Amino acid sequence: MSDNQSFPMPPRVCQLTKDGLHLSDDWRTAADDEYIVGIPKSCPELSPSQALQAFRQDGFPGWGKFDGAFALVCYQRSTGQLHLAIDRFAFAELFYTAVDGKLVFSSSLSALLAIPGISRDLSPQGLTDYLGLGYVTAPSTIYRNIWRAVAGGVCTFTASSCTFEYKRYWMPDYTAHDHLAWQEAIAQAKDKINARLTAALTGRKTAVLLSGGIDSSLLTALACEQGLPPEAAFTAIYGDERYDEGTLAAQVADRYHIPHQECHVTPASLDSVLSLLHDYGEPFADSSLLPLSALLRTVATAGFSSVLCGDGGDELFGGYRRYQAMLWRHVMSGLPAALAKFAGKCLLPFLPAPQDNRSRLANLTRSLRSLTLPPIEAYISFQELFSREMRRQLLADSPETDYLDIWQSEGQIMNIKDAVERYNNLDLLHYLPEDGCRKGLVANLQTGITCLAPLLSSSLLEWVMSLPRHYKTTLTDTKRLLKAIGTDLLPAQLLHRRKTGFGIPVATWLRGPWREQLRWLSESPQEWVRQGLFNHQVVKRLVSEHLEGRANHDARLWALLLFARFLEGR
């Protein structure tokens, strides 16, 4: 390959060489004497000329003013630098790698993997992220030499030195608190959500993913109140009352006269998830990918091209139990730290092993365990698969630093005083874009449905961050604003029930229909053994403990199973 010329690339792959920027046919451009801006045609909400004008006026922060999905590159002729950026929620993605002094990039990871000779060596950082979180945090991917753009960030590639520099054009800001009266905050929140709904739904034939939770139910009710009702509602059910939300979803659909269809999700859907991850090019272990992808296929089969969903309600309006747990921890900080830690350690041995993550016992166990940990580890323990110690036992080679160290340093830089906002900030920077929104991208790979998420609006987020934290989360309640809006619109049972989340009975299915998958995982020589990645004896122990009911390792074994199938299919 010549350093001075572009070389043939697979479809959807672009490159920066010494003779300039070479974009594929699926990109749009705008240019002036100094800059060329390119945006994929798959991101129609932002035009290249808008992005160029915003950059000219305000630099990188200018891109933080835009709503919706975008990935963009901005090439500076005089310096030869290329800036790569995506929206703050990572509705769109951008992947890149250096090949013989050239920068090669695409909105598709699988497109980069199609480049002849591209390295597929695994990244130790990406692997520890995946085992800990179930996803790989930006800018890493599961591959050592391929990176991804950071949500709300800019990566600058300097061709002359073949170096990368990372900056953020947007950061969550909780400092400008708006001291609205409670009733005024309710009214404004409703108005702002209604405005987003009107913009999203007007002129569209739309269905709704109705989970039986507050977010999707409230959006459905508000849409109907505005005369923009979804034409159909779809709900995932599993034949397991601990997870099924069909009854509550049906109540909402009946109340607003919306045809309601239940989508029966079965263990056989595993094959479709494996197919999606093969197409995506990277493992992803959020088990709710399985029902979401099944729902989107059902929506597409029913003839809809767009669907309303409640994504973002937990992150914007304080819906996660871990926020309350960290708030309780903060309240208890007046006690000697050793006392709280001692209480947790004393009580944990007397609790039986939870057999399912949905149980009250599982919630109590997580809360008590969090008391025994340092703050950042306590926060992440509510969503972590393999703890740092477990990763050290499992991995043959662990990186010196991991996401815990990075997030700890980010928290110190932010200097956010409120205990809940400190961890809500981490969710906005990482969990929301890198798990929640990435899940939507992966689930939608084979359907092309337009997912409408009116709560995930830049302007709505900025406003919500300006509100007092207790308008969202308190020691005894979550999502206070959304519940207040829904008081006259939704069944009281729905508003005040214990949070369940969007999950599947992984623990049960692993002991039943997927039992042979676990035996294969335990007994067959895995690719990770040949590559010297894992201590396979740890894997065998986890499988044995789970199948015999001595412990619940459902999320860990699900992640390992998907990773084993990923390695097998590479």
With beta carbons less than 8 A apart as the criterion, state whether 309 and 452 touch.
yes
pLDDT at 266: 94
Q: How far is CA 247 from the centre of its chain?
A: 27
* pTM (two decimals): 0.92
Residues 148 and 44 in one domain: yes
296, with CB counted inside 10 A (0-12, 13-18, 19+), is buried
Residues 490 and 527 in one domain: no
Kindly state the average pLDDT of the residues 103-116: 94
pLDDT at 339: 54
The strand order across the sheet containing 306-308 reads 260-264, 232-237, 206-209, 306-308, 450-452
Instruction: Identify the band that residue 175 occupies on the pLDDT scale cut at 50, 70 and 90.
Output: confident
Residue 22 CA to residue 16 CA, distance in Å, equals 6
Half-sphere exposure of 434 (CA within 13 A, CB side): 25
**Cα dihedral 31, 37, 41, 45 in deg (nearest 10):** -100
pLDDT at 267: 95
Residue 16 CA to residue 102 CA, distance in Å, equals 6
pLDDT surpasses 50 at 120: yes
Residues 465 and 531 in one domain: no
Instruction: Identify the band that residue 566 occupies on the pLDDT scale cut at 50, 70 and 90.
Output: very high
Kindly state the average pLDDT of the residues 445-454: 95
Q: Which of 496, 518, 536 is the last residue of a domain?
A: 496
- Total count of domains within the chain: 3
Residue-range definition of the domain harbouring residue 153:
14-168
pLDDT at 3: 39
Closest CA to 93 of 80, 76, 81, 111: 111
Average pLDDT, the chain: 90
**Maximum pairwise Cα distance, the chain:** 71
Say which range, 112-116, 144-148, 205-209, 369-373, has the weakest mean pLDDT: 369-373
Q: Which of 145, 168, 191 is the last residue of a domain?
A: 168
Tokens 């790979």, residue located: 445
Name the β-bridge partners of 40. 27
pLDDT digits over 263-292, tens only? 999 999 999 999 999 999 999 999 999 999
Residues 58 and 18 in one domain: yes
Higher pLDDT, residue 254 or 173: 254
Residues 301 and 448 in one domain: yes
pLDDT surpasses 70 at 134: yes
Residues 97 and 219 in one domain: no
Residues 164 and 286 in one domain: no
What lies within 8 Å, CB to CB, of 355 at 6+ separation is 507, 549, 552
Q: Is residue 293 part of a domain?
A: yes
pLDDT at 351: 58
pLDDT digits over 493-523, tens only? 999 887 666 789 999 999 999 999 999 999 8
Q: Is residue 412 part of a domain?
A: no
What lies within 8 Å, CB to CB, of 140 at 6+ separation is 123, 125, 126, 129, 147, 148
Cα angle 147-296-71, degrees, rounded to a multiple of 5: 30
Kindly state the average pLDDT of the residues 310-322: 95
Tokens 């108005």, residue located: 191
pLDDT digits over 461-492, tens only? 999 999 999 999 999 999 999 999 999 999 99
pLDDT at 362: 64
| 3 state DSSP class of 236 | strand
Instruction: Identify the band that residue 569 occupies on the pLDDT scale cut at 50, 70 and 90.
Output: confident
CATH number of the domain where residue 66 is located: 3.60.20.10
Helices (H), 9-140: 48-58, 109-113, 124-133
Q: Which of 113, 139, 168 is the last residue of a domain?
A: 168
Q: Is residue 396 part of a domain?
A: no
Say which range, 8-22, 56-70, 419-433, has the weakest mean pLDDT: 8-22
Quick one: which H or E segment has residue 86? strand 81-86
Quick one: which H or E segment has residue 235? strand 232-237
With beta carbons less than 8 A apart as the criterion, state whether 128 and 406 touch.
no
Helices (H), 78-213: 109-113, 124-133, 182-201
Residues 35 and 158 in one domain: yes
Instruction: Identify the band that residue 5 occupies on the pLDDT scale cut at 50, 70 and 90.
Output: very low
pLDDT surpasses 80 at 2: no
Phi/psi at 373 (5° precision): -115, 160
pLDDT surpasses 50 at 180: yes
pLDDT at 412: 76
The strand order across the sheet containing 95-99 reads 20-22, 14-17, 102-106, 95-99, 147-148
With beta carbons less than 8 A apart as the criterion, state whether 108 and 119 touch.
no
Tokens 């989360």, residue located: 473
Q: Is residue 326 part of a domain?
A: no
pLDDT digits over 369-411, tens only? 767 778 888 889 889 999 999 999 999 888 878 899 989 888 7
pLDDT at 159: 82
Higher pLDDT, residue 171 or 241: 171
Residues 144 and 77 in one domain: yes
Tokens 């990566």, residue located: 155
Residues 151 and 250 in one domain: no
Kindly state the average pLDDT of the residues 226-238: 96
CATH number of the domain where residue 307 is located: 3.40.50.620
Closest CA to 426 of 402, 449, 408, 442: 408
Kind of pairing between the strands at 153-158 and 27-31: unpaired
pLDDT surpasses 70 at 10: no
pLDDT surpasses 50 at 358: yes
Q: Is residue 353 part of a domain?
A: no
Residues 238 and 193 in one domain: yes
Closest CA to 74 of 63, 88, 90, 65: 63
DSSP states along 162-200: TEEEEEES------S-----HHHHHHHHHHHHHHHHHHH
pLDDT at 349: 62
Q: Is residue 345 part of a domain?
A: no
The percent of residues in the chain predicted with pLDDT above 90, rounded, is 71
Q: Is residue 432 part of a domain?
A: no
